[in-house]
Amino acid sequence: MAVIDEPPGPSYGLGHADHELERLELQAGLIESITKRWLLEAGIKTGMRVLDVGSGVGDVALLAAELVGATGEVVGTDRATTALAIAAQRAKARSFRNVRFLKCDPSETAFDEPFDAIVGRYVLMYQADPVEMVRKLVTHLGPGGLVLFHEPYRDGIRSYPTVPSYDRAWQLVDETLRGTGADPIMGIKLHATFVAAGLPTPTMRMESVIAGGAECSSHIHFEVDPVRTLLPQMERLDLATAAELDIDTYADRVRNELTATGGVIVGRSEVAAWARRPLKGVPRQTARRGGDRR
**Contact (Cβ atoms closer than 8 angstroms) between residue 259 and residue 184:** no
Q: What is the pLDDT of residue 20?
A: 62
**Is the pLDDT at 214 greater than 80, yes or no?**
no
Q: What is the pLDDT of residue 141?
A: 97
Percent of the chain at pLDDT above 70?
A: 87
Helix (H, G, I), strand (E, B) or coil at 140: coil
Q: What is the pLDDT of residue 278?
A: 86
Q: What is the pLDDT of residue 279?
A: 81
**Is the pLDDT at 16 greater than 80, yes or no?**
no
Its pTM stands at 0.88
The DSSP secondary structure of 194-239, one letter per residue, reads: HHHTTPPPPEEEEEEEEEESTT-HHHHHHHHHHHHHHHHHHHHTTS
H helices of 43-125, in order, are: 59-68, 81-93
Degrees to nearest 5, angle at CA 229 with 9 and 218: 120
**Is the pLDDT at 10 greater than 50, yes or no?**
no
**Is the pLDDT at 12 greater than 70, yes or no?**
no
* CATH architecture of structural domain 18-276: 3-Layer(aba) Sandwich (3.40)
One-letter identity of residue 239: L
Cβ-based neighbour number of residue 238 at 10 Å: 8
| Chain segment 70-116, per-residue pLDDT in tens | 999 999 999 999 889 999 999 999 999 999 999 999 999 999 999 99
Q: What is the pLDDT of residue 23?
A: 65
* Model confidence band, residue 6 (pLDDT cutoffs 50, 70, 90): very low
* Model confidence band, residue 183 (pLDDT cutoffs 50, 70, 90): very high
The mean predicted confidence, pLDDT, of the chain is 89
Q: Which of 10, 11, 15 is nearest to 129 (CA)?
A: 10
Rg of the chain on CA atoms, in Å: 19
User: What are the backbone angles phi and psi of residue 119, rounded to the nearest 5°?
Assistant: -135, 160
Percent of the chain at pLDDT above 90?
A: 78
Q: What is the arithmetic mean of pLDDT over 230-254? A: 95
Q: What is the pLDDT of residue 22?
A: 66
More confident residue, 242 or 25: 242
| Chain segment 228-239, per-residue pLDDT in tens | 989 999 999 999
Which range (24-33, 64-73, 140-149) has the least confidence?
24-33
Helix, strand and coil content of the chain, in percent to the nearest 5, comes to 45, 20, 35
* Cβ burial, residue 250 (10 Å; 0-12/13-18/19+): buried
